[in-house]
Structure 1
Amino acid sequence: MNKVTRFFWFCSGAHVATLKKYPIEHNKYVGIGATIFFTALFASLSGGYAMYFVFSGNPLAVVFAVLFGLIWGTAIFNMDRYIVASINKQGSTNSQILQASPRILLAIMIGIVISRPLELKIFDKEIREKLKFAYNKGQHSKIDTLQKTYTDKYAQELSKNKDLKAEKDSLEKDINRSRYQLNQEVFGDKTNQTSGITGYGTYAKQKAAVLAEKEARLKTVTDDMGKMDQYLATRKNYEGLNNLKLFSDHQLDSLVNIAGFADRNWALGQLSYNSNGTRDLDTYMAESFIAYLFILFECLPVFVKLMSPRGPYDVALAKTAEANMHYAERDKERDIMVTDETYDYHVGNDIENRKRIISGQSAYDAERYRYD
């Protein structure tokens, strides 16, 4: 437990040597350090998960995800540790809040960045269904666009083929009617289209000739239609229409499995809207709750530091900082003094100056020891 405690103290950015003197402050900084540590842990998982989808399909995707997750988590850890450690408890409440404002804004941004990849994992099933629908809709749109391009490009040929088909249908009906009338003429059925004379006479021969002419025209039209259909089929294959089909369930699953971070992020954003464009309040609240939770979790160490009263550790830390400033100033003065005296010694070759340097150094050390 001592090792765990010291580790969380380190995470909190506290000055361990000073903090150890005040047991009443130990638990507070253990809590702050634990919050910072677990925030960094969530950041590692979030960053690694996001990077896994960036390199999805690559054999080294897991290696890249682990490496980036560790780097990202370490960066967030260092940033949070600095944010908490840099809040000064010496000023008034308003000055502390003003001092912490940029840090709170930064913590909010970090919370948003951390929460998004984890939301992708939490709503993975819904995202997959949304992507399947989007991919199918996109395929429909692609087919429709190609079909329209093909229709516009070969409008003349399609119109001619349509006319040939209409003529073929008309000829087939006319031929059936003419063949029936020929039979009536041959068998002597009296109608307003036949003579009523039995046998293959003059009228029958005329009708047979008309029928042969129509059949010859039908053959020509049919041949032209076949050639046109073959040409249009070749053009359709050239334009890529024959290769485009709606995705099967297996193909959709494969596409969703290799979907990148951008597609999944887009699908997550679309989950909060219904098909008619109105907002789905339940899904929106669920997504927002997760984001707010991580933002609060990220801001929690700063809030704890702001809300906690000024304790003995803060007072001791302020005195230590003041003492260090004093030492720095005295060291600076001593360095200037030693430099000047040494210069005089070398220039004037005065042994007494050297003694004063040594005695001044000893006096300074004695005074510093007394101050400590």
Structure 2
Amino acid sequence: MNALNNFFWYCAGVHRETLANQPTEQIKYLGIGATIFFTGLFAALSGGYAMYFVFKGDDLAIFFSIFFGLIWGLAIFNMDRYIVSSIDKNGSTTKQFLQATPRILLAIMIGIVISRPLELKIFDKEIKDRLALSYLNAQRAKIDTLNAAFDNKYKIENNNLQYIKTQRDSLAAKIKSDEQKLNFEIFGNKTNETSGVQGYGPYAKRKEQEIAQLKVQLDTLNAQINRGDSFFADRKNFDGLMSEKILTSKQLDSLANVAGFADRNWALNQLKYGIDGKEDSSTSNAILFIGFLFIFFECLPVFVKLMSKKGPYDHSILNQETLAVYSSDKDLDAGISVIDNTHDFRIQEDIKVKNHKIRKKTEQEIVD
């Protein structure tokens, strides 16, 4: 426990020899040091996770993520340790707040940066689903765009082919109708166009010849259609339309797993909206609250130091700094005199404040 206490006191940036003589202050700075340490730890995890996606797919991705995570965590830890320890508790409240203001603003920015990679991990499954849907829609849009460009490029040829197919369909329908009429004539079925006499007569022979001629025309049209279909198949293969296919579920999952940081960050923003495009307040609030949590956690070391009262340790540090200014033997007595005068002044100020409170209380009682 002593080693752990010393470590957290080091994290708080205190003078351990001085703090050892102030037992009432040790718990306070133990908490401040622990807060700074865990802030740096979260920064290391967040930075390493973000860097892992930057180098994902590389053999050294894990090495780079660990290396960068340690550097990022140590940088945030050192920054927190320095700024928290530099807040002068012997100064006025306004001076302390002004000292802490740049750190608070920086903490908000750092909190946003730290929270983002951890949010990506928390919503990992939802992000992969949204990425898979995005890739599928993108593939469909690409295929539609290619088809539209192809149709526009070969618009004349396609219109001619469609016209021939329309003729083919109309001719095939006429042949089918004429064959039915021929059967009615042969088997003696009476209609408006058949004699009703059973047998293979002149009308049946004439109708059969007409059907044969129509079939020749139909074969010609089919041959033209086959040549047109073959032409378009070759053109589609040449223009790359045949190689574009809808991605399977396995392919979509594979693409989502290897998605980079930018794609995952985009997908996280899209989670604020449902599939229908309407805002999903529950997911949006969850992402927002997680971001606020890490921002608050990053600002916590400064808040703890600002909220803590000035104690014996702060007075001891002030005395040591004053004596350090008058470090020579000649000025040592002057330094001690400054310390005594400072203490006397503080005592006088405390007495004035207490007398003022007592006087206010007495006046209030008289009024009552």
- Normalised to the residue count of structure 2, the TM-score between the two structures is 0.83
Q: Which amino acid aligns with 1:38?
A: F
Q: Which amino acid aligns with 1:313?
A: Y
Give the stretch that moved more between structures: 182-191 or 18-27.
Answer: 182-191
Which residue does the alignment assign to 1:170? 170
CA distance in 1, matches of 2:204, 2:126: 76
Which residue does the alignment assign to 2:306? 306
Which residue does the alignment assign to 1:73? 73
Q: CA RMSD in A?
A: 2.4
Q: Which amino acid aligns with 2:234?
A: T
Which residue does the alignment assign to 2:114? 114
Q: Give CA deviations for 1:182-227 in whole Å, capped at 9, x if unaligned.
A: 5566677776545778877765554444333222211110000001
CA distance in 1, matches of 2:174, 2:47: 75
CA distance in 2, matches of 1:199, 1:126: 76
CA distance in 1, matches of 2:240, 2:326: 81
1:114 Cα deviation from its structure 2 partner: 0.8
CA distance in 2, matches of 1:157, 1:142: 23
Which residue does the alignment assign to 1:92? 92
Which residue does the alignment assign to 2:238? 238
Which residue does the alignment assign to 2:220? 220
Q: Give CA deviations for 1:273-308 in whole Å, capped at 9, x if unaligned.
A: 223433322212221222111111111110111111
CA distance in 1, matches of 2:307, 2:189: 113
- State yes or no: 1:147 paired with 2:147: yes
Give the stretch that moved more between structures: 139-148 or 251-260.
Answer: 139-148
CA distance in 2, matches of 1:266, 1:7: 40
Alpha carbons of structure 1 residues 187 and 28: separation in structure 2 relative to 1, 3 Å? closer
SS where residue 243 of structure 1 aligns?
A: coil
| Residues 361-372 of structure 1 aligned to structure 2 (within 5 Å) | 366-367=329-330
| Residues 253-332 of structure 1 aligned to structure 2 (within 5 Å) | 253-327=253-327
Give the stretch that moved more between structures: 21-30 or 276-285.
Answer: 276-285
Alpha carbons of structure 1 residues 2 and 198: separation in structure 2 relative to 1, 3 Å? closer
Alpha carbons of structure 1 residues 27 and 231: separation in structure 2 relative to 1, 3 Å? same
Unmatched 5+ residue regions in structure 1?
328-364
1:180 Cα deviation from its structure 2 partner: 4.0
Alpha carbons of structure 1 residues 243 and 323: separation in structure 2 relative to 1, 3 Å? same
- Any conservation in 1 of the 2:185–2:198 contact (CA below 8 Å)? yes
Q: Give CA deviations for 1:108-128 in whole Å, capped at 9, x if unaligned.
A: 111111111111111112212
CA distance in 1, matches of 2:23, 2:188: 127
SS where residue 167 of structure 1 aligns?
A: helix
Q: Give CA deviations for 1:119-153 in whole Å, capped at 9, x if unaligned.
A: 11111122122222222222222222222112212
Alpha carbons of structure 1 residues 294 and 191: separation in structure 2 relative to 1, 3 Å? closer
Alpha carbons of structure 1 residues 188 and 109: separation in structure 2 relative to 1, 3 Å? closer
Task: Report the count of equivalent residues.
Answer: 335
CA distance in 2, matches of 1:198, 1:33: 112
Give the stretch that moved more between structures: 10-19 or 178-187.
Answer: 178-187
1:13 Cα deviation from its structure 2 partner: 1.4
Percent identity between the two aligned chains: 54
Which residue does the alignment assign to 1:105? 105
CA distance in 1, matches of 2:282, 2:316: 50
SS where residue 310 of structure 1 aligns?
A: coil
Which residue does the alignment assign to 1:44? 44
CA distance in 1, matches of 2:179, 2:280: 68
SS where residue 53 of structure 1 aligns?
A: helix
CA distance in 2, matches of 1:191, 1:130: 65
1:21 Cα deviation from its structure 2 partner: 2.6
SS where residue 111 of structure 2 aligns?
A: helix
Which residue does the alignment assign to 2:14? 14
Unmatched 5+ residue regions in structure 2?
337-368
Which residue does the alignment assign to 1:344? none
1:79 Cα deviation from its structure 2 partner: 1.0
Q: Which amino acid aligns with 1:55?
A: F
CA distance in 1, matches of 2:67, 2:111: 21
CA distance in 2, matches of 1:231, 1:249: 33
CA distance in 2, matches of 1:237, 1:23: 82
1:86 Cα deviation from its structure 2 partner: 1.6
- Any conservation in 1 of the 2:326–2:332 contact (CA below 8 Å)? no
1:14 Cα deviation from its structure 2 partner: 1.6
CA distance in 1, matches of 2:23, 2:238: 81
CA distance in 2, matches of 1:187, 1:303: 104
Q: Which amino acid aligns with 1:177?
A: S
